[in-house]
Amino acid sequence: MPTRARLALLCQFALFGILNVSWTSRLPSLMTALDIDAARLGQLLIVGGVGSLIGALSSGAVVTRIGARATLAAGVLGHLVGFGLLATAAFTGSVAVFIPGALINGVSSALTNVSINVSAAAVEQRMGRAIMPQFHAMFSVGAALGALIAAGFARAGLGIGVQVVVVLAGATVLRALLIRPATSITLAGSRAATRGGAAREALSAWRERRTLLLGLVLMAASLTEGAAGTWLPLAVVEGFAANEDVGALAYGSFVAAMTLVRIGGTRLIDRFGRVLVLRLSGVSALIGLLLFVTGPSLALAWVGVILWGFGAALGNPIATTAAADDPLRASVRVSVVTSFSTVTSLAAPPLLGLLAAAVGTRQSLLVVGAFIVLSLALAGNARREQPDTIR
């Protein structure tokens, strides 16, 4: 049973990565289809971010009330509707259709994210060893596959609308078939709550010091990973007068390093514990970031990219696992900490963009270093605690 659930969840994480990245890799085609410029696209993408924030803030109560299985089913159905509207918008050139699609997709992504992470925490607890990084590694693999799929459709001259329909159809069928096995294991002691009780329980998690500090750890981890995805290729091109393909290759090296550590990091966590691994990860990310920002040559900066990728790998899964230590409170606490990463994904790109315009893209990334230092200071909160001591 644990093995079957683990394999189903690995597939769910990968499919989630494919859905998230395949369409965002075709944003230039989307701009053409909707006949909008980059500024207008940025405004429209904020709608999806708002949906993600709404979903992140409510998903803890939803999972507590109806369970991870029903929440995941709602996320799959929501993506079917949301991406369906996105494809329709691409075919018709309608911004008005795109807006509700982006909003629904944002909410659905948050519901999916919390439900599969809660289910992964349940499988991890049943197996008695750290396996959460493997799930996040599969998301990275799915993201890479999504980018390759997008590149294939683009090379074939097929529009984003066609791509979304094809990818959505295949992913939805697979996700639907895997819902039951992926959620077959629940956290020990988990319970359903009344509608009002679920809301009160979700709100109470926002008053827990440890949960909020873990949220800050996850915020730093999300920024460490996300800043590379948004700005690393451009920083390479601008900072070293390199071609665009070199910037893309540098980011590919970052993803490869991160995925490698996520696959093998479970043994490190089991052997050395969450706190030490989290601190070593922070040190690696900080050294790598500083090498990239200050390195006088592309070769030295590339070494920094690899170290940065190594360090960015485990913060997210460690913080998520730590939030799920108490089975009774896992869903609401995972919801709270993932809300921090959602806020980061909303606020960081435009703020870093403004800073990059003022001091340069590569130099602006030093801000990420400050958050890594914060994560190092708060790493002790990831220490495993008994349910009756987590407050």
User: How far is the C-alpha of 277 from the C-alpha of 87, rounded, in Å?
Assistant: 42
First vs last Cα of the chain: how many Å apart?
32
Check: CB of residue 181 under 8 Å from CB of residue 4.
yes
Q: What is the DSSP secondary structure assignment for residue 382, as one 8-state letter? A: G
Q: What is the DSSP secondary structure assignment for residue 207, as one 8-state letter? A: G
Provide mean pLDDT across the span 316-328: 88
Q: Which tokens belong to 76?
A: 């799959």
Which CATH homologous superfamily contains domain 205-384? MFS general substrate transporter like domains (1.20.1250.20)
Domain boundaries of the chain, sorted by first residue: 1-183, 205-384
Check: CB of residue 311 under 8 Å from CB of residue 369.
no
Provide mean pLDDT across the span 203-230: 89
For residue 379, give the nearest of 315, 327, 291 by alpha carbon: 315
Provide mean pLDDT across the span 27-45: 82
Provide mean pLDDT across the span 338-357: 78
Residue 355 CB contacts under 8 Å (≥ 6 apart), including other chains:
364, 367
List, for residues 50-97, the tens digit of each pLDDT value. 888 888 888 878 888 888 899 999 999 999 999 999 999 999 999 999
Number of helices and strands (H, E) in the chain? 15, 0
User: How far is the C-alpha of 60 from the C-alpha of 114, rounded, in Å?
Assistant: 8
User: How far is the C-alpha of 183 from the C-alpha of 147, rounded, in Å?
Assistant: 27
Torsion sign over Cα 344, 349, 350, 356:
positive
Check: CB of residue 287 under 8 Å from CB of residue 294.
no
List, for residues 279-303, the tens digit of each pLDDT value. 999 999 999 999 999 999 999 999 9
CATH tag, 1-183: 1.20.1250.20
Residue 322 CB contacts under 8 Å (≥ 6 apart), including other chains:
214, 274, 381, 382, 383, 384
Confidence at 278, pLDDT banded by 50, 70, 90 = very high
pTM: 0.80
User: How far is the C-alpha of 366 from the C-alpha of 78, rounded, in Å?
Assistant: 38
> What local confidence, expressed as pLDDT, does residue 391 receive?
45
Longest CA–CA separation in the chain, Å: 60
For residue 341, give the nearest of 219, 214, 225, 206 by alpha carbon: 219
Instruction: Supply the mean pLDDT for the chain.
Output: 87
User: How far is the C-alpha of 74 from the C-alpha of 242, rounded, in Å?
Assistant: 44
